[in-house]
Amino acid sequence: MSAVQSESLARRLATLADSKKAEDIIALDMRGLVAYTDFLIVCTVRNERQAAGIVDEVRVQVKRESALLPAGTEAAGEAGWAILDYLDCVLHVFTSEARDRYQLEDLWREAPRLELQLPQDGVRGHLYGAAHG
């Protein structure tokens, strides 16, 4: 997969997670830091059920749109962490407790962040402003 394709996939994974109301979505650019992947996409969910919904949505949509299947899937519900490994991009779906425990952003703090323009960002900001303004 080319660098442009892996960045496009990273953005798509983030957008799909966002469409299922994941929060605090970031994409870490791992190129130049590790050889096993180009991007780590990390997001937070309220519970394991929401995590399962995101994993299912991503699997279905990426397969339908790009004919890609994850090379690996790990869902440790009790650990609050699910992973979809597309080799060049790895999606990590955490509950807030698990995200605090594993601290991937801190572990990879030297990784540049991919600027994401997510559709729900504007909606959430508008709704927050309407509710709290």
pLDDT tens digits for range 77-97: 678 899 999 999 999 999 999
Residue 67 CA to residue 23 CA, distance in Å, equals 26
Give the span between the Cα atoms of 25 and 131, in whole angstroms: 22
- Compute the distance between CA of residue 128 and CA of residue 23 in angstroms, rounded to an integer: 14
How far is Cα 54 from Cα 48, in angstroms, rounded to an integer?
Answer: 10
Q: What's the pLDDT tens digit per position in 19-44?
A: 999 999 999 999 999 999 999 999 99
| Torsion-angle region of 67 (φ positive above 0: left; ψ -120 to 50: alpha; else: beta) | left
